[in-house]
Amino acid sequence: MKIKRIKISGIPHKPLIEGLELCFPENTSDFLNANCLIGVNGSGKSQFLESIADIFVYLDAVYRNHNKRRNVSTPFLFEIIYSIPLDGEKYFVELIQEKKNKLPLITITDENCKPIEVDDEEFELYLPQKII
């Protein structure tokens, strides 16, 4: 999985990243495809990484077919776009959490920008297996 864009809001307990929006450009080199967070102590690097983890813990609780929990509330509002490989193909997943008491809006497209229709149970396939 590779995050392309993330936007975080509605997170008053982490004021350093309230309203944060970051885009990660596509790397054109096959040599190394990594991003690095650099900043002074207290600038919000850890809060940002914790927020990414919170997003995927929430999505895991809502969409995983095993140990699915009911009445899970989102930790904050977010928009995230990431790419994920599946069966040798690359897919782009966009999730928009606009309201706290609703499920996120999901858009999945293939490499040719063709929309992919999936139901809630199939969406588990488009979640990352590990967040490192």
Q: What is the pLDDT of residues 50-60, one digit of tens each?
A: 999 999 999 99
* Residue 6 is assigned to a structural domain of this protein: yes
In a domain, residue 37? The reply is: no
Per-residue pLDDT band at 101 (split at 50, 70, 90): confident
Mean pLDDT value of segment 26-47 = 84
> Given this model, what pLDDT does residue 64 score?
86
Q: Domain containing 13: what range?
A: 2-25+44-126
Q: Is the pLDDT of residue 125 over 80?
A: yes
Q: How far apart, in Å, do the first and last CA atoms of the chain sit? A: 10
User: Does residue 33 carry a pLDDT above 90?
Assistant: no
36: in domain: no
Q: How many domains does the chain have?
A: 1
Which residues sit opposite 79 in a β-bridge? 7, 96
80 pLDDT more than 70 = yes
DSSP letters along the chain, please?
-EEEEEEEES-TT-TTTTT-EEE-PPP--SS---------TTSSHHHHHHHHHHHHHHHHHHH-SSS--SS---SSEEEEEEEEEETTEEEEEEEEE-STTSPPEEEEEETT--B----TTGGGGGS-S---
Which has more pLDDT, 101 or 92?
A: 92
pLDDT for residue 79: 98
Tell me whether residue 81 is in a domain.
Answer: yes
**The pLDDT of residue 46 is above 90:** yes
Does residue 105 belong to any structural domain of this protein?
yes
Residue 91 lies in a domain: yes
14 occurs within a structural domain: yes
Q: Is residue 19 part of a domain?
A: yes
Give me the percent of the chain exceeding a pLDDT of 90: 69
pLDDT, residue 132, reads 66
